[in-house]
Amino acid sequence: MSEANPPSIGASHTPLRQAVTDAIRDRIIEGTYPQASRLYEETIAAELGVSRNPIREAFQTLSAEGFVHIEPRRGARVAVIDTKRAAEIFAVRCALEGLVAELAAANATPTTSGQLGQIVADGTAAIVDGDLSDLPKLNTQFHEHLAAMADNALLTSMIRQLSDIVRWIYAERLESRVRQSWSEHADLASAIEAGDRARAHDIAVRHIEAARVAFLGPDAG
């Protein structure tokens, strides 16, 4: 978004602090604010049409989430996804997503499986059309829908805590895996629809492992 076309934050029913935080987070994920770049309160406040106070509050929230690094007396910068941090995220996701897929297969209904299949279809259509802009969000929808199908509140909460960081990784570095990733989503959706818990677990683990290798390289531990 440019300054000429600021988001309609004031028109939203979302609380101002949350709306500002969401807008800045989205810009980081989309690459508008690149990794390690300086974030200027005054500039962003003008872009979003708000005062500097909600910008400061948003920086604090985004710092806790891992998107922003606040340097004493120097201000805020966009955080950097380094190798160690990425490896930690993938390790946690591998453990969580395997269990989520297994539980989703156990709990699948025609309705929930159909909804999962529609997300896969939407992503596949976007790839065919060459429009990849919505794929990070569709990827998040896919994994959050799996978590909902698992019907485990703690797992769902943990997946959601990771989802925005995962979307950032997906948008930043995994463009080369787009087609293969969505093929894996289709295979996983098929196993879940069939109620095959073991197959769903294995596909989910391989899916996250393939993403890890694409991001970190085959020799990463």
Distance CA 14, CA 26 (A): 15
Domain boundaries, the chain: 16-78, 83-216
36: left (phi over 0), alpha (psi -120 to 50) or beta: left
pLDDT, tens only, 108-129: 999 999 999 999 999 999 999 9
Q: Does domain 83-216 sit in CATH 1.20.120.530? A: yes
For 110-123, b/e burial (b = at least 16 CB within 10 A) is: eebbeebbebbebb
- Rounded to two decimals, what is the model's pTM? 0.77
Return the CATH number of 16-78, one of 3.10.450.50, 1.10.10.10, 3.30.450.20, 3.40.710.10. Answer: 1.10.10.10
For 2-19, b/e burial (b = at least 16 CB within 10 A) is: eeeeebebeeeeeebbeb
pLDDT, tens only, 124-168: 999 999 888 888 789 889 998 999 999 999 998 888 888 888 888
